[in-house]
Amino acid sequence: MKVSASARRLDADRIRALAEAFGAEPSRWPEADRAAALAWLEAHPGEGAVLLAEARALDGLLEAWRLPQPAEPLRQRVLGPAPVVVRLARRRSFLMTLGGGAGLAAACLAGVMAAPILLATPAPTPSPAPPAVAATPVGADELLTEALAGWEAPVGEGEADAAS
Amino acid sequence: MPRPGTETLGLAAGAGAARPAPASARLEDPDADLVRRVGRGDLVAVRALTARKLPRLTSLAARMLGDFAEAEDVAQESLIRAWRQAPVWRFGEARFDTWLHRVAVNLCRDRLRRRRPGGADDLDALVDPGPAPDRGLEARDVGDRVAAAMATLPPRQREAVVLCHYQDLGNIEAAVALGISVEALESLLSRGRRALRAALSDLVR
| 3-state SS record for chain B | CCCCCCCCCCCCCCCCCCCCCCCHHHCCCCCHHHHHHHHCCCHHHHHHHHHHHHHHHHHHHHHHHCCHHHHHHHHHHHHHHHHHHHHHCCCCCCCHHHHHHHHHHHHHHHHHHHCCCCCCCCHHHCCCCCCECCCEHHHHHHHHHHHHHHHCCCHHHHHHHHHHHHCCCCHHHHHHHHCCCHHHHHHHHHHHHHHHHHHCCCCCC
Residue B143 near chain A (CB below 8 Å): yes
pLDDT tens column, B63-92: 999 999 999 999 999 999 999 999 999 998
Q: Which of A37-41, A148-152, B100-104, B167-171 has the lowest mean pLDDT?
A: A148-152
- Answer yes or no: are the C-beta atoms of A145 and A95 closer than 8 Å: yes
Q: Which of A58, A64, A69 comes nearest B197 by C-beta?
A: A58
Report yes or no for ipTM above 0.90. no
Q: Is the Cβ pair A57, B38 closer than 8 Å?
A: no
Domain of B39, in residue numbers:
25-119
Mean pLDDT along residues B172-176: 96
Q: Given a cut of 50, is residue A161 above it in pLDDT? A: no
Q: pLDDT band at B205, cuts 50/70/90? A: low
Taking the C-alpha atoms of residue B183 and residue B191, their distance in angstroms, rounded to an integer, is 12
Contacts of A30 in chain B (CB under 8 A): 170-172, 182, 186
Question: In chain A, where are the structural domains located?
Answer: 12-63, 83-116+137-145
Q: Given a cut of 60, is residue B118 above it in pLDDT? A: no
pLDDT at B50: 96
Hey, which residues does B132 pair with through a beta bridge? B136
* Within a domain: B43: yes
Q: Is the Cβ pair B83, A2 closer than 8 Å?
A: no
Q: Is the Cβ pair B197, A87 closer than 8 Å?
A: no
Mean pLDDT along residues B121-126: 52
pLDDT at A89: 84
pLDDT at B130: 52
pLDDT at B96: 96
Residues 43-62 of A with CB under 8 A from B: 54-55, 57-59, 61-62
* Within a domain: B98: yes
- State the Cα torsion B63-B67-B73-B75 to the nearest 10°: 20
Q: Given a cut of 70, is residue A1 above it in pLDDT? A: no
CA distance A103 to chain B (A): 20
Q: Given a cut of 50, is residue B12 above it in pLDDT? A: no
pLDDT tens column, B29-54: 999 999 999 999 999 999 999 999 99
Residues 61-80 of B with CB under 8 A from A: 62-63, 72, 75-76, 79-80
Q: Is the Cβ pair A86, B83 closer than 8 Å?
A: yes
* Within a domain: B5: no
Instruction: Please enumerate, as own/partner, the contacts of A105-112 that have beta carbons within 8 Å and a separation of 24 or more.
Output: A105/A140, A106/A135, A106/A136, A106/A137, A106/A139, A106/A140, A106/A143, A107/A135, A107/A136, A107/A137, A107/A140, A109/A135, A110/A134, A110/A135, A110/A136
- Answer yes or no: are the C-beta atoms of B9 and B85 closer than 8 Å: no
Mean pLDDT along residues B3-30: 50
Query: How many folded domains does chain B comprise?
Result: 1
* Within a domain: B2: no
Q: Given a cut of 90, is residue B184 above it in pLDDT? A: yes
* Within a domain: B200: no
Q: Which of A36-50, A69-83, B118-132 has the lowest mean pLDDT?
A: B118-132
pLDDT at B135: 52
Q: pLDDT band at B171, cuts 50/70/90? A: very high
- State the Cα torsion B122-B123-B125-B130 to the nearest 10°: 180
Question: ∠A35-A37-A40 over CA atoms, to 5°?
Answer: 115
pLDDT tens column, A64-117: 999 998 888 999 999 999 999 888 888 887 787 776 555 445 444 544 554 444
CATH number of domain containing B100? 1.10.1740.10
